[in-house]
Amino acid sequence: MADVEDMFDDEPAGRRFSSDEEEDESRNLGTRRRRQNSGDEDATARRYDDDDDDDEDEDEDEEDDRDYKKPQAKKGARRKRPRTNNFLDIEATVDTDEEEEEDEDGALGDFIVDNEEELATAEKDALRQRAAARPPVFQDDETLDADAIEAQLRERYSGYVASGGRGTGSQIDADWVPQRLIIPGINDPHLWVSRCSPGKERDIVLAVGRRVLQWASSGKYKGVYSAYTRSGLSGFIYVEARTQADALAALEGIPGVFTSKLTLVPINDMIDVVKVKTHTTRLNPGSWVRVKRGNYAGDLAQVASVIESSDAVEVRLLPRLDYSADGRRDKRARPPQRLFSVEEAQKADSRSLSSRQNEILWKGDRFINGYLHKDMRTVSLQTEDVNPTLEEIALFAAGETGEDGDEQAAIAALASQATKASSALEGIDEANGLTVRDLQPGESVEVVEGDLAGVAGVVRSIDGDVVRVEPELGAQR
Amino acid sequence: MASLVPKDKRQLRACLICGIVQNHHTFRDMGCPNCEVHVKMARHNDMVTDCTSGTFDGVMAVFQPKKSWVCKFAHVSSYRPGIYASHVSGRIPEDVEDALARAGIAYHPRDGSADD
A163 touching B (Cβ < 8 Å)? yes
Most confident of A84-88, A175-179, A195-199: A195-199
pLDDT at A192: 92
- In this predicted model, which residue has the larger pLDDT, A326 or A204? A204
pLDDT, average across residues A17-21? 43
pLDDT, average across residues A90-100? 50
Dist. CA B92–CA B87, nearest whole Å: 14
Dist. CA A282–CA A471, nearest whole Å: 32
A216 touching B (Cβ < 8 Å)? yes
A424: left (phi over 0), alpha (psi -120 to 50) or beta: alpha
Question: Which residues in chain A have Cβ-Cβ distances shorter than 8 Å to B115?
Answer: 178
Most confident of A271-275, A467-471, B14-18: B14-18
Nearest to A31 by CA among A79, A1, A75, A77: A75
Question: Which residues in chain A have Cβ-Cβ distances shorter than 8 Å to B78?
Answer: 170-173
Nearest to A190 by CA among A246, A237, A227, A241: A241
- pLDDT of residue A167 exceeding 70, the answer is no
pLDDT at A238: 92
- pLDDT of residue A404 exceeding 90, the answer is no
Which of B4, B34, B72 is opposite residue A170, by nearest beta carbon?
A: B34
- In this predicted model, which residue has the larger pLDDT, A41 or A435? A435
Which of A169, A173, A213 is opposite residue B5, by nearest beta carbon?
A: A213
At A345, the pLDDT band (50, 70, 90 cuts) reads: confident
Determine contact, residues A271/A207, Cβ cutoff 8 Å.
no
Dist. CA A225–CA A249, nearest whole Å: 12
Nearest to A401 by CA among A349, A447, A464: A464
Would the CB atoms of B37 and A165 count as touching at under 8 Å?
A: yes
Dist. CA A150–CA A176, nearest whole Å: 9
Which helix (H) or strand (E) segment holds residue A360: the answer is strand A359-362
Q: Which residues contact A98 (CB under 8 A, 6 or more apart)?
A: A1, A4
Sheet harboring A456-463: ordered strands across?
A: A444-446, A456-463, A466-471
Dist. CA A312–CA A374, nearest whole Å: 10
A169 touching B (Cβ < 8 Å)? yes
- pLDDT of residue A30 exceeding 50, the answer is no
- In this predicted model, which residue has the larger pLDDT, A317 or A39? A317
DSSP helix, strand, coil percent of chain A (3-state; round to 5): 45, 15, 40
CA distance A202 to chain B (A): 7
At A143, the pLDDT band (50, 70, 90 cuts) reads: low
- In this predicted model, which residue has the larger pLDDT, A23 or A215? A215
pLDDT, average across residues A117-143? 61
CA distance B68 to chain A (A): 5
B34 touching A (Cβ < 8 Å)? yes
Most confident of A144-148, A150-154, A406-410, B51-55: B51-55
pLDDT, average across residues B33-50? 87
Question: Which residues in chain B have Cβ-Cβ distances shorter than 8 Å to A182?
Answer: 69, 72-73
Output the furthest CA–CA distance in chain B (Å, rounded): 36
How many C-beta atoms surround the C-beta of residue A193 within 10 A?
A: 20
Nearest to A313 by CA among A288, A350, A339: A288
∠ Cα A340 A346 A352 (to 5°): 90
CA distance B62 to chain A (A): 5
- In this predicted model, which residue has the larger pLDDT, A344 or A224? A224
Determine contact, residues A225/A190, Cβ cutoff 8 Å.
no
At A194, the pLDDT band (50, 70, 90 cuts) reads: very high
At B83, the pLDDT band (50, 70, 90 cuts) reads: very high
pLDDT, average across residues A154-168? 51
pLDDT, average across residues A167-176? 48
* Percent of the residues in chain A that have a pLDDT greater than 70, as a whole number: 53
Dist. CA A419–CA A369, nearest whole Å: 7
pLDDT, average across residues A132-160? 62
The mean predicted confidence, pLDDT, of chain A is 68
Contact map slice: B 35-94 vs A, CB within 8 A: 35-38, 49-51, 53-55, 57-64, 66-75, 78-83, 86-87, 89-93
- pLDDT of residue A1 exceeding 80, the answer is no
pLDDT, average across residues A61-89? 49
Dist. CA A173–CA B105, nearest whole Å: 7
Question: Which residues in chain B have Cβ-Cβ distances shorter than 8 Å to A278?
Answer: 87, 111-113
A271 touching B (Cβ < 8 Å)? yes
B112 touching A (Cβ < 8 Å)? yes
- pLDDT of residue A184 exceeding 60, the answer is yes
Nearest to A458 by CA among A439, A442, A476: A442
Nearest CA in chain A to B71: A226
Dist. CA A357–CA A350, nearest whole Å: 18
Strand A353-356 vs strand A312-317: parallel, antiparallel, or unpaired? unpaired
The mean predicted confidence, pLDDT, of chain B is 86
Nearest CA in chain B to A210: B5
Question: Which residues in chain A have Cβ-Cβ distances shorter than 8 Å to B64?
Answer: 224-226
